[in-house]
């Protein structure tokens, strides 16, 4: 097992793909000479050349559209957005084209492309660079949405994403690039849509994805001091959602709280809570409670940003309300 950073895990997955599949290439803004906004592709242009590493103009609509065309023609592009916030100017290409072409062509056209993007708030990037649009894109039929929380999952999910014949949104929370974790040296893949039991417990189920899992761990440690044994489920993917794993945990514990680091209003957890409640109603000893970010534009001010983001204390307070019900 190698102890590497989240960033290094992504880099390793990209290098493997380029070296083992001649149809794979990477394109995006400043991914070549600059090495990527988060240094994931540092040194790639020198190592693999301009045919495989393509710096693009500042036009997401143009280069995401080019990626859709390349994928439709048989290549496997990996498109990097500097921020998932910038997916807004490429929504037509992502939602109308990439997600629908296979269905509308009766399976004759495949779109095997990965769209990588830093996501989430908490690093003082201001309102227009701190969005979490993976929660929007996960609602679009025809594409997958992966949201890893640790280096091992980042590598395993990326391998599966690159091999997928459907488009995949690969959301990488900006808080996680420097986080470390053990990653097996031997080759492995993690199927898209398969959740992970992060921590076993008997008193209630905590559910999240990406950076939210780290908040849940802190909350679970705090609850353990009060004798509350929390189970944590890491969704790993928002589309598809591994409902059987979540439901099985809720049936075991009888209680649940779900965390979305995106905004609570209209977040992915609203849909997941609804579905789990329908499937596990008879096992619930109280309502499922959601925790999420406040419904305001993201501030640049550090203290204000921290106040808007959910934290472990909010999760603990929610869990105690569930248990006391």
Q: What is the pLDDT of residues 82-102, one digit of tens each?
A: 999 999 999 999 999 999 999
Query: Which residues lie below 8 Å from residue 44, measured CB to CB, with a gap of 6+?
Result: 14, 15, 18, 26, 31, 32, 35, 52, 53
Residue 267: pLDDT band with limits 50, 70, 90:
confident
- Give residue 1's pLDDT: 83
Block residue for tokens 């690093």: 123
Active site residues: 60, 129
Alpha carbons 48 and 186: distance in angstroms, whole number: 24
State yes or no: pLDDT of 325 exceeds 80. Answer: no
Find out whether 124 and 305 touch, Cβ atoms under 8 Å.
yes
Interstrand relation of 2-5 and 180-183 (parallel, antiparallel or unpaired): antiparallel
Per-residue pLDDT band at 147 (split at 50, 70, 90): very high
Could you tell me the two tokens for 209? 């994805």
Indicate if the pLDDT at residue 207 is higher than 90: yes
Alpha-carbon distances, residue 242 vs 24, 68, 237, 276 (angstroms): 28, 27, 8, 11
Report how far residue 113's alpha carbon sits from residue 164's, in angstroms, rounded to the nearest whole number: 8
Structure tokens at 299: 């501030």
- What is the DSSP pairing of strand 76-80 with strand 114-119? parallel
Domains and CATH numbers, the chain: 2-183 (3.40.50.970), 196-324 (3.40.50.920)
Strand extents, DSSP E, 139-283: 144-146, 168-173, 180-183, 196-199, 204-208, 230-234, 237-239, 256-263
pLDDT of amino acid 266 = 86
pLDDT digits (tens, 9 = 90+) for 155-185: 999 999 999 999 999 999 999 999 999 999 9
Mean pLDDT, all residues of the chain: 96
Note the Cα 54 to chain centre separation in Å: 24
CA 255/CA 322 separation, integer angstroms: 7
The CA dihedral of 251, 257, 262, 264, to the nearest 10 degrees, is: 110
Distance CA 104, CA 97 (A): 10
CB 205 within 8 A of CB 258: no
Q: What phi and psi values does residue 169 have, to the nearest 5 degrees?
A: -85, 120
By percentage, how much of the chain surpasses pLDDT 90?
Answer: 96
Question: Per the structure block, which two tokens stand in for 219?
Answer: 């909350």
Which residues 6+ apart lie within 8 Å of 15 measured at CB?
44
């Amino acid at each position: 097992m190698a102890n590497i950073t989240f960033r290094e895990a992504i880099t390793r997955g990209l290098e493997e793909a380029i070296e083992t599949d001649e149809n794979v290439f990477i394109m995006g803004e400043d991914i070549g000479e600059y090495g990527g906004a988060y240094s994931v592709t540092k040194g790639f242009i020198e190592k693999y050349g301009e045919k495989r590493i393509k710096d693009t103009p500042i036009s997401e609509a143009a280069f995401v559209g080019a990626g859709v065309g390349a994928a439709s023609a048989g290549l496997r592009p990996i498109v990097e957005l500097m921020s998932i916030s910038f997916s807004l100017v490429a929504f037509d290409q992502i939602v109308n084209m990439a997600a629908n072409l296979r269905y509308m062509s009766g399976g004759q056209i495949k779109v095997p492309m990965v769209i990588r993007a830093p996501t989430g708030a908490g690093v003082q990037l201001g309102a227009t660079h701190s969005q979490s649009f993976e929660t929007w894109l996960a609602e679009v039929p025809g594409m997958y949405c992966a949201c890893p929380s640790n280096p091992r999952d980042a590598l395993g999910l990326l391998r599966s994403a690159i091999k997928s014949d459907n488009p995949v949104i690969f959301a990488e929370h900006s808080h996680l690039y420097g986080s470390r974790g053990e990653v097996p040296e031997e080759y492995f893949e993690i199927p898209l849509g398969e959740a992970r039991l992060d921590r076993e417990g008997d008193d209630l189920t905590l559910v999240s994805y990406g950076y939210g899992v780290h908040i849940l761990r802190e909350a679970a440690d705090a609850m353990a001091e009060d004798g509350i044994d929390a189970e944590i489920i890491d969704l790993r993917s928002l589309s598809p959602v591994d409902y059987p794993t979540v439901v099985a945990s809720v049936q075991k514990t009888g209680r649940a709280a779900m965390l979305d680091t995106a905004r609570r209003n209209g977040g992915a957890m609203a849909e997941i809570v609804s579905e789990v409640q329908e499937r596990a109603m008879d096992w619930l000893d109280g309502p499922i409670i959601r925790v999420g970010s406040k419904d305001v534009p993201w501030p640049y001010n550090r203290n204000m940003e921290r106040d808007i983001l959910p934290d472990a204390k909010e999760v603990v307070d929610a869990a105690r309300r569930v248990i006391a019900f």
